[in-house]
Structure 1
Amino acid sequence: MSVSENTAAVPPGDAEEGDPAHARLRRDLEAVLMVVDQPVAAYDIARAFDRPVREIEAALTELSEEYTVQGRGFDLRQVAEGWRVYTRPECADIVEHFLKEGQEVRLTQAALETLAVVAYRQPVSRGRVSAVRGVNCDGVMRTLVLRGLVEEAGHDPESGALLYRTTSYFLERLGLRSLDELPDLAPFLPDDIEGLDDTGEHTS
């Protein structure tokens, strides 16, 4: 399967409103954009959808403009690496307040598991945390950082990956004086984490 920038496609604006095929394309694009954890290139989407790049780019631009006109709380932006849904800048304060100050909102199971891995393996990169949990944890890590439970701890001297550790606020919330008072759960975490690189892959 190949994708060409010059493949004939429906130019922007030519797709009629109510066109079932175009509606399905928009729906599928939104579904993919909701699950990606980093910007995705139109070329990669086109290859996965087996559609022309120009058609994908036109549909993405259309969605982005539509979200802006409708005043949605999220924004579809094109950055250097590709396209991704972001919180609209004017909503940043309320989102941060909800994540950081809304202590009545309990942490999800995924957040608790991620926090445990950071606590017992710190300083640790997001890639290694994801490898231990078996799923991508970028979004959960951002939430933990915003809520003040996890913070950046420099970069790995070998790989350059950003490292994370728990904060003093984390200790305060758990009623601990230091990390030495954490329950002895480390043996339940994978022993071969040191054999993983910062993308979560096993090193040779």
Structure 2
Amino acid sequence: MTETHAGDTRALEALLFVSDEPITIPVIAQALELDRKAADELCDRLMKELEDRGAGVVLRNVAGGWRLFTHPDTAPEVERFVLSSRQARLTKAALETLAIVAYKQPVTRHQVSSIRGVNSDGVLRALQDKGLVEEAGREETPGRPILFATTPTFLERLGLPSLASLPSLAPLLGPDADEGANEGDDEEQEPAGAEAATTEPAESPE
């Protein structure tokens, strides 16, 4: 096993600072000339050091790699800065479409539009341009429509290690969400042809 030293921690911080995407352990190991186990332990150590000193950034393992994020406690200040800087933000339509893709993926363009009730072609293209959504093959149905899914960048932006970490929708739906599905199960069903049996007889010709 390759030994690490203080200079490695400093170098790791520098790598994480200049990277615009999560850095995998193999890449870190190669850059710092360490074996993978040592690189992994170095990341764990830096993560703890940042926490212990109350730094304004935290180190997280997301989307298969390590990346620096602003500390959750600094959210109000960061939000004010972002808003005052007029940074580009996702529109309501984009957030809605992204949520549908995230929870229903892989999903077709038509399925997204059907759920939203409006054409979503332009929104999907915008999400693709931002690197949050990508094509994920084709559905084996007539016409073979394109399927869409979220990207590693989506996980990275949300600070999630995998799609399995997405919050459950159940608490948002409420306890009565599926009552309608069973409504009427206990009601007596009318026999077939009942409607025809109760119709008035045709008038006799005069």
TM-score range (shorter-chain normalised) is: 0.3 to 0.5
The TM-score, its normalising length taken from structure 1, stands at 0.44
The TM-score, its normalising length taken from structure 2, stands at 0.43
